[in-house]
Each structure stands twice: as structure tokens, then as C-alpha cells.
Amino acid sequence: MDDTFERSLTLSFYPILTRNEFSHEMVRGMAVGGTTGCITQCLTFPAEFVKTKMQLDGKMDAPRYQGNWDCVKQITRKNGVYGLYKGLPIALSGKLAAVSCRFGAAEYLKSKTVGETGVLSTQQKVICGFGAGIAEAVFAVTPFETIKVKYIQAQGLEKQSKPCGIIQETKNILKKEGAHGIYQGVTATVLKLGVDQMIKFVIMDLLKDFYKSRNDTKEVPLPILAMTGVTAASVAVFMSTPLDVVKTRMQSFQGRDFKNFVHCVKTIWKEEKLMGFYKGTLPRLSRGCVDLALTQVLYGMLSEQYNRLSNRD
């Protein structure tokens, strides 16, 4: 199921990547989006680390943590504050690729979807947001997330007390599991990011339009941009966390135990019921709100600087 879905999605997006149709908006989206993503990742990674640890703490292993704060205490007690940043280089690499791909794909789809009025309809916004999420999931997120999840999980295993870096970790996965090992959980990742980005793009655009009151020339101040990010992220987190849990479980060392996406969902429901699908919600919510609020503000600021430099040239 995962392999077939991955191949079909890759083939559908391949022509877009091979054409020489990179508009100014698309290049700007990739450059500014990638820079923004790296900055926010550095600031919010500890919450991502804790979220992943909590989502891995299921019935497949004896539960190690009593809650989010207990997880933080155990990690910092053993490795100090630095322990919450292990795996950051992997996450940064993935974030750079993912955000660049997301904004690049979104700008590309917008340029191909928008009509003569230059304004996207709600339906077009949904399509662009979902399409950007799919592109991000297939070409960037799934491989880096698989490596990141296994790297973070390895921090709690005595036999892997000295986990390797991104290159060696990738080699290990390819050697043991082949290309399929890098693309574990691709279905869950695609669904999660498709839903996640669709909700975020739609809500943020609707809130911006509401603030502008049909006056497209009206500038949206940075505090309002931040609030749109917090609101959109809050809704997206509660809607997509179950898919995020499934994705994390399938990308773990135990991921090979699941036959496919549906089997993983059934296993979590059987062993942990509804609460199992919402593990790590608090750190994911805090990270998501801060991340998207900063992204909205930084993306706007960096876009202005990019446009100024481009016009100067």
C-alpha cells in the first residue's frame, strides 16, 4: 500500500520538478521558506523531541514516561538540556528541504490555479494547501522524519547509546531495510501533511481576508499575522495529531511490525484506544503554535527583504 502510493505520487509530481517553470514567486517561496524553517526549527526542537518520545512510548514497549514533564525531567537528568537538542542537525536538514518544498509547491500551484482576478477562491486555497502538503511529504518529510524518529528513539536504547549522524544513519537504514526503510509511513505522512497544510493555508488566508475587509491593499500587521498562525496551528494540531502518531509509530524501529497504515491504526486502537492517538499533543501544540506564528512573521519580513534585494538587482 505504502509503496504503490509513494510511486504514484512521485510520478505525478516529477514533471513539475523537471520543467523549467520556476517563477520568481516559487524561487522566493523556497528561499525565504527554507530560511524561516531553519530559524523556527532551532527554537522549537525541544518540543518536537519530547513529542516524538511520547508518541513512541506505547504498548509496544513498556511505558517509560508518566507524562510530558516527566519525559523532560528524565531526558535532562540523564543528558542535560543538550539532550533535548539531539538530532537537531537531522531535523534542520529535513526542515530546510520540507519548508522550501512546501512554499515552493504552494507558490507554483497558486500561480497555476489563480484566475484573471488574481484572487484564489476557498476551493483553490484548499487544493493548493493540500497539494503543497503532499509534495512536502513525498519529497522531503518522509525520508528525514524516518531518520529523525529512529535517531531520537535510539537515545533511550542502551545498545545504541552513541547513535550516529544523518549520513551513517541513512546508510544503516538502507543496509538493513532498503529504500522501503527510508519511506516507512509515507501514507500516514502524506495524509497528515495534506490535512495539516490544507487547514493552515485556508484558516490563515480566511483570517487575513477578514482583517483586510475586502481591501487587498491593506497591510496585515505582524501581531495579527502571528495570531493567524497560532489559530491555524491550534486547529491543525488537533485534527492531524492521530495521523502524526501513526506516522511516528510506523517510522520507529518497530515499524516493520506493521503491515501497513490500516494495520497500525487498528493496533493503536486495540492497545491504547482513543488516547493512544493523542500522545504528545501538548508539546506538539506548543511547538506548532510558536512555529507557525514565527513562520508567519519571519516569512513576511524575509519576503520584503528578498523583494528589495531582487528589485535592486
Classify burial at 161, counting beta carbons within 10 Å of its beta carbon; exposed 0-12, middle 13-18, buried 19 or more: exposed
Max Cα-Cα span within the chain: 61
Domain ranges of the chain: 1-305
Measure CA 271 to chain center.
Answer: 26
Q: What pLDDT shows up at residue 239?
A: 92
DSSP secondary structure string for all residues of 225-272: HHHHHHHHHHHHHHHHHHHHHHHHHHTSGGGGG-SSHHHHHHHHHHHH
C-alpha span between 196 and 134 (Å, rounded): 10
Q: What nine digits make up the cell of 170?
A: 541513512
The pTM for the full model equals 0.74
* Residues 271-294 pLDDT 10s: 999 999 999 999 999 998 888 888
DSSP H or E segment with residue 88: helix 88-113
Superfamily in which the 1-305 domain is placed by CATH: Mitochondrial carrier domain (1.50.40.10)
C-alpha span between 60 and 267 (Å, rounded): 10
Q: Is the pLDDT of residue 192 over 60?
A: yes
Q: What pLDDT shows up at residue 152?
A: 84
Q: What nine digits make up the cell of 251?
A: 517510522
C-alpha span between 41 and 47 (Å, rounded): 10
Q: What pLDDT shows up at residue 67?
A: 84
Three-state SS at 108: helix
Closest listed residue to residue 32, CA positions, set 126, 140, 106, 91: 106
* Residues 78-126 pLDDT 10s: 888 988 998 888 888 887 787 777 777 877 888 888 777 777 787 887 7
Give the up-direction half-sphere exposure of residue 253: CA atoms within 13 A in the CB hemisphere.
16
C-alpha span between 80 and 199 (Å, rounded): 36
Q: What nine digits make up the cell of 243?
A: 495521523
Q: What pLDDT shows up at residue 277?
A: 94
Residue 9 confidence class, pLDDT cut points 50, 70, 90: very low
* Residues 120-149 pLDDT 10s: 787 887 788 778 778 878 888 888 888 888
Measure CA 208 to chain center.
Answer: 23
Which phi and psi angles does 116 have, rounded to 5°? -65, -25
